[in-house]
Amino acid sequence: IQLIRFCKQTKELCFAGAKNALYYTDINNVLHKVKADRWSIGGTQHFDFPNFTKKILPKDWENIFLFSDGFQDQFGFANNKFMVGNFKKFLKKISSFSTNVQIDKMSQQFFEWKGDYTQTDDVLVVTLKKGLFTEDGSFNEEKGELVYN
């Protein structure tokens, strides 16, 4: 699981993740990884509940990607998985496009890769662009729309 929170007072964007990292591109379209904690939310229970680390994203982020492991774990071409490295390259490649175009490109890439193979897992990708939010952290309807695919 991945959670982000925008603090209106400090204008900080905070991230906490359980086993799933967050990726973002900066103003130079460089892809960065913010590591998640290695603890999961469910599964084997521990006597002490882990404290999840809150990380503050740099102010130069331009595009944030949150996602499940379904896309990179999907089998496709020659019965191979898409893999994390290919997914990171793909995110960098599409990050300069609008969120609507990104969603279209993700869907197209996923189904081209998957081909006739059965979908093996849930697939969830969330992409956020800095320009989609106003100064107070509200969604700016003039600059974008929320799209579910």
**Residue keyed to tokens 């905070």:** 14
Q: Phi and psi at residue 55, in whole multiples of 5°? A: -115, 135
pLDDT in tens, 74-133: 999 889 999 999 999 999 999 999 988 999 999 999 999 999 999 999 999 999 888 766
5-25 mean pLDDT: 85
pLDDT in tens, 31-89: 999 998 887 766 665 556 556 678 888 988 999 999 999 999 999 988 999 999 999 99
pLDDT value at 1 more than 90: no
Closest of 55, 13, 62, 21 to residue 38, by C-alpha: 21
